[in-house]
Amino acid sequence: MIGQIQAVDIKDPFAAKMKILSAKKEILQKANDQDPMLVSVGGGAKDLDVKVIDAKTGPMVITELHVDCRDAMGANAVNTMAEAVAPMIERISGGRVYLRIISNLAVKRLARAWTVIAKEEVGGEEVVDGIVEAYNFAVADPFRAATHNKGILNGIIGVVIATGNDHRAIEAGAHAYAARNGHYGTLSYWEKNRDGDLVGSLELPMAVEVALKILGVKSANELGEVMAAVGLAQNLGALRALAHEGIQRGHMSLHARNIAITAGASGDLIDLVVERMVEERKVRMDRAKELLEEYKKKGKV
């Protein structure tokens, strides 16, 4: 994880940058003194970087601690380290420190998933072509990319919440990562290989804390991989629907089921009401109640 220390009011910011880099060893030692337990298991502050940014209020010197958090999300450890080294940064740079806090754009903590799917499994090469075209639409257009990424996160956030992790941090990091090159794009990649099969991959920041008892994973890295795989599978399902039968049919069926249950349907009657509403394209509460009355008269209830 990355912890940022913001220093301002510095007359020569690039000289300050060099001075901070020269004191790297001492700064990292001070950071690691804050969490000997993390260091004892192989984690801790491993490196630092310094950048000068030209903000509206003037130049800022940003020191970034790179902290190996092992199987923790790391916010408490990183924030404590950033707070501890802030006075050192002020002394070395001659500036004034304001923010000293973790970043949720965890580019040093990426999870990746990758798959090859036979064209027959998704409905043939024409569907593969449709999925690739849908992907390229998202690459070129941020309006489409936002919805693709929302679908990816539909899957990931479910696992994040189920394992007691911070879904807001994951979502913020994912969207920021999608815009890291100055253009908001899709987190996933889809292409057709020479055999006509579908090849997909997904990469995004995954700052999660291990949930041993819930999923049985052995590390935070493994949990991140599970989440990335879920996100890629979720994306594939949505893209296949878009490229093949249209997303509305799947959405309509789910919505119809909720309406049918709310209207009072239960058991096999739910499927009967859903099927009729979708077929008629009348997914409404009043129609669900009418159908229930109709099936009651026919002795279906």
- The CATH number of residue 146's host domain is 3.90.770.10
**Count of domains forming the chain:** 3
pLDDT (0 to 100) of residue 295: 87
Q: 139 and 72 share a domain?
A: no
User: Residue 230: phi, psi to the nearest 5?
Assistant: -65, -40
Mean of pLDDT over the chain = 92
Question: Can you give the pTM of this predicted structure?
Answer: 0.82
> Which amino acid is it at 274?
V
Q: 45 and 61 share a domain?
A: yes
Residue 105: pLDDT over 60: yes
Q: 136 and 217 share a domain?
A: yes
> Which amino acid is it at 13?
P
Q: 241 and 163 share a domain?
A: yes
Q: 59 and 156 share a domain?
A: no
* Interval 165-191 mean pLDDT: 96
Residue 248: pLDDT over 60: no
Which one of 103, 126, 161 terminates a domain? 103
CA gyration radius, the chain: 26
| CATH number reported for the structural domain that contains residue 273 in this entry | 1.10.8
Q: 88 and 206 share a domain?
A: no
Alpha helices in the chain (DSSP H): 13-22, 24-32, 36-40, 75-93, 119-122, 125-140, 142-162, 167-178, 212-215, 220-243, 247-263, 268-280, 285-297
Q: Are 198 and 117 in contact (CB under 8 A)?
A: yes
pLDDT (0 to 100) of residue 115: 97
Which one of 77, 103, 129 terminates a domain? 103
Tell me 104's DSSP state: S
Residue 249: pLDDT over 90: no
- Residue-wise burial string across 282-300, b where 16 or more C-beta atoms lie within 10 A, e elsewhere: ebeeebbbbbbeebeeeee
Q: 222 and 118 share a domain?
A: yes
pLDDT digits (tens, 9 = 90+) for 28-78: 999 999 999 999 999 999 999 999 999 999 999 999 999 999 999 999 999
Which of 80-84, 160-164, 211-215 has the highest average model confidence (pLDDT)? 80-84
| CATH number reported for the structural domain that contains residue 22 in this entry | 3.30.70.420
Domain extent for 226? 111-245
Residue 301: pLDDT over 60: no
Q: 184 and 196 share a domain?
A: yes
Q: 229 and 285 share a domain?
A: no
Which residues are paired to 113 by β-bridges?
Answer: 202
Residue 194's Cβ-count burial label (10 Å; 0-12, 13-18, 19+) is exposed
> Which amino acid is it at 223?
L
User: Residue 232: phi, psi to the nearest 5?
Assistant: -65, -40
pLDDT (0 to 100) of residue 268: 85
pLDDT (0 to 100) of residue 214: 80
* Interval 217-246 mean pLDDT: 87
Q: Which helix (H) or strand (E) holds 61?
A: strand 58-68
Q: In what order do the strands lie in the sheet with 96-103?
A: 44-55, 58-68, 2-8, 96-103
